Homo-oligomer: A and B are copies of this chain.
Amino acid sequence: MKVINEPLSVKTHKRNEMIDITADVADIVAKSGIDIGMVTVFCPHTTAAVTINENTDPDVTHDILLTLEELIPHLRKGYRHNEGNSDAHVKSSLFGVSQTVYIQNGGLKLGTWQAIYFCEFDGPRHRNVHLSIFG
Contact = CB atoms under 8 A, between A and B. Distances in A.
B95 A94 contact: yes
A111 B98 CA distance: 12
> Contact size class for A?
35 or more
Interface stretch (A8-16, A19-27, A127-135): A127-135
A104 B135 CA distance: 16
Interface of A: 1, 3, 5, 36-38, 40, 42-46, 51-54, 57, 59-60, 62-64, 66-68, 70-72, 76, 78-83, 86-87, 89-90, 92-102, 104, 109-114, 130, 132, 134-135
Across the A-B interface, the 3 shortest Cβ-Cβ residue pairs: A44-B111, A63-B86, A59-B80
